């Protein structure tokens, strides 16, 4: 406690940082399966997370989204839909046996977005149930809460579940989707990550609108508390490989949670390569925990930079135009003087020493992602 006081970190903030020191990585059922999710699917995704190399790459959460809920018993405790999830504790045990963690979903309102039982007035009971089952992650989605809470009650509604989770004694990552300028208060109510946008869709225009729209939010992110521009759509089929690489690059530069939403059991080799590239993931998971920001923009062309713990800079050169265009990052734009080494993170290749700048041809709807390391 003395150390916390010395460095100016509150006990609550310290606990958050310990729980999610880097952006969470995992899988969520919603984007691909929606309400068709069931026990068999979740087990298969967990199996594939291990066998495909996803777990080795850092993905660890297997998150069940909406539609798992059944009814409450006479005492008010929630039970899963028996037809889909006959034994949630057994499922959690299975996921844990793979060295992975289980996530679940609810709402501060009376009902979830899918119309199932929410946690309204049952927060303590639900938190206790999740802990009993062995849940490691809760996604808490606003949905019907707008019908029972006024705007000045939003924060208290989320904090109520945070306190209920803490009371269980089980470490549970807390992911919220609220309304308004959530990023300005989410950490204070105990959230480890918070949605900064509406829902993503598996199309290029929605992805770039969300991703490039994150500018200005970096000040609110850091170890234990992350801005969340929603889940990854990589592998769901609505974008080209170049667009999916742009998606992955931008989310990693944003220090965003990497929660993939595809069917892992049907991944192509190219999808797997995008999702498991260690050089790119290392940017997202960098322990400094700084969210990247735009350093240059000209129409459909953008350059983003994320400072890294070793003093190097991760840089994304993005082209939203419909032709190949040469982009140049000046080292002075990213806080580097003189010479620096450059590594292409998608090619996983060292490109050599450059003085003052680096240029690359960037294909349409594409990205060149590099790591620039100053020479001393």
> Residue 277: what pLDDT?
98
Question: How far is 260 from 29, CA to CA, in rounded Å?
Answer: 9
CA 138 to mean position of chain CA atoms: 13
Task: Parse the chain into domains and list their residue ranges.
Answer: 2-284, 293-374
Architecture field, domain 2-284: Alpha-Beta Barrel (3.20)
Q: Write the CA distances from 130 to 127, 169, 218, 267, integer angstroms.
A: 5, 11, 32, 30
Report the predicted TM-score, pTM, of the whole model to 2 decimal places.
0.95
What is the CATH superfamily name and number for domain 293-374? Golgi alpha-mannosidase II (2.60.40.1180)
Mapping DSSP to helix (H, G, I), strand (E, B) and coil, where does residue 358 land? Answer: strand
Rounded to the nearest 5°, which phi and psi values hold at 371?
-120, 120
Mean pLDDT by 10 residues, the chain (376 residues): 46 68 98 97 98 98 98 98 97 98 98 97 98 98 95 96 95 96 96 97 98 98 97 98 98 98 98 98 98 98 98 98 97 97 98 98 98 94
> Residue 118: what pLDDT?
98
> Residue 376: what pLDDT?
77
One of 73, 87, 199, 361 is an active-site residue; which one? 199
One of 65, 66, 126, 141 is an active-site residue; which one? 141
Please determine whether the domains at 2-284 and 293-374 fall in the same fold group of CATH: no
Annotation says 141 is catalytic:
yes
**What would the DSSP string read from start to end of 160-178?**
HHHHHHHHHTS--EEEEE-
């Amino acid at each position: 406690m003395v150390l916390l006081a010395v460095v100016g970190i509150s006990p609550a903030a310290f606990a958050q940082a310990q729980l999610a020191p880097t952006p969470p990585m995992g899988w969520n059922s919603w984007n691909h399966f929606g309400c068709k999710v069931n026990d068999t699917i979740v087990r298969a995704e967990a199996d594939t997370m291990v066998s495909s190399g996803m777990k080795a790459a850092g993905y660890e959460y297997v998150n069940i989204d909406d539609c798992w809920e059944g009814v409450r018993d006479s005492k008010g405790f929630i039970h899963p839909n028996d037809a889909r999830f006959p034994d949630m504790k057994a499922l959690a045990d299975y996921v844990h046996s793979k060295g992975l963690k289980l996530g679940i979903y609810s709402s501060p309102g009376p009902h979830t977005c899918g119309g199932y039982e929410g946690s309204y007035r049952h927060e303590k009971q639900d938190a206790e149930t999740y802990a009993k089952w062995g849940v490691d992650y809760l996604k808490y989605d606003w949905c019907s809460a707008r019908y029972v809470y006024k705007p000045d009650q939003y924060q208290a509604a989320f904090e109520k579940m945070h306190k209920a989770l803490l009371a269980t004694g089980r470490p549970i990552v807390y992911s919220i989707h609220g309304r308004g300028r959530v990023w300005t208060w989410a950490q204070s109510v105990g959230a480890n990550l918070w949605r900064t946008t509406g829902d993503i869709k598996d199309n290029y225009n929605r992805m770039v609108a969300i991703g490039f729209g994150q500018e200005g939010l970096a000040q609110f992110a850091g170890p234990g508390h992350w801005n969340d521009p929603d889940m990854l759509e990589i592998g769901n089929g609505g974008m080209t490989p170049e667009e999916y690489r742009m998606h992955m690059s931008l989310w990693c530069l944003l220090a965003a949670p990497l929660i993939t939403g595809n069917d892992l059991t049907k991944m192509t080799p190219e999808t797997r390569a995008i999702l498991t590239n260690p050089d790119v993931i290392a940017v997202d998971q960098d322990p400094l925990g700084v969210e990247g920001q735009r350093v240059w923009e000209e129409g459909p062309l953008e350059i983003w930079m994320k400072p890294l713990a070793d003093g190097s800079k991760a840089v994304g050169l993005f082209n939203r135009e419909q032709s190949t265009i040469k982009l140049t990052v000046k080292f002075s734009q990213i806080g580097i003087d003189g010479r620096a080494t450059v590594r292409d993170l998608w090619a996983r290749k060292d490109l050599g020493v450059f003085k003052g700048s680096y240029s690359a041809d960037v294909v349409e709807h594409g990205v060149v992602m590099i790591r620039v390391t100053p020479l001393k």
